[in-house]
Amino acid sequence: MWQRLGAWVIKNRLVLLIALVISTGVMGYFASKVKLSYEFSKAIPTDNPKYIAYQAFKQKFGDDGNLLVVGVQTDKLFTLDVFKAYVQLQQTLKKVSDVEDVLGIPSAINLQKDILTEELTSYKIFTDTIASQETLNEAKNTFLSLPFYQSLLYNPATNAYLMGVRINKDTLNSPKRTQIVAAITKAVNEFTAKTTIETHLSGLPLIRTVVADKIQQEMKYFLLGSLLLSALILLLFLEALALHCFRLRL
């Protein structure tokens, strides 16, 4: 059986090689059309009661899957030089493509009642004209006196401060999110280098992007390794087959 198969392969080797090249080209063409999905994969059926309840919750309260957070822990944030760098960080993050808004201490507002109209008017606590440590301390005292921001933007017990970056949802479901996360990471690293304060990044956009990029990179190595291994096995098989047929002829 193997002798007949080997003889048939050698006899029709040209036709088999052409068929192999054509089939490889066709498979390579369709392989080039394969794209990585950037959307959430559904782990449970859409008619599941828990999934329906989750969708109702998102429709009512919104979705936080597009929020990336920047956290620092330091007791020097309200020193003039560090705070200016923190303000610059927020301004840089706002300029990143597809970043819709940035919530942080530099943009915190306070409400004040107008005596004449009896209406509440809002104003920024940390204005752009802060140029001295004394003025910054006054704004800091006003900010810390507002219980609304406690546990939202800062934790007084640990000196931890948070900045939230909201990214466009549609962009997060596209390959462009890699560039956005890279730009945010670059801005945060520049803040760290300028102030020597360790900065932490977290949030679903960061996790999804890092994991997806690693999978995409590993898939390239896996496909290349599979191709080389398949070629090596085929080469060894053909060499063994040719050697067997050569011995039979002898």
Confidence of residue 19 (pLDDT cuts 50, 70, 90): confident
Per-residue model confidence as pLDDT tens digits over 54-65 = 778 777 766 667
Note if the pTM is more than 0.75: no
Confidence of residue 200 (pLDDT cuts 50, 70, 90): very high
> The tokens of 83 are what?
């705070």
Q: Are 114 and 120 in contact (CB under 8 A)?
A: yes
Confidence of residue 213 (pLDDT cuts 50, 70, 90): confident
71 has which bridge partners?
162, 200
Mean local confidence (pLDDT), 215-228: 84
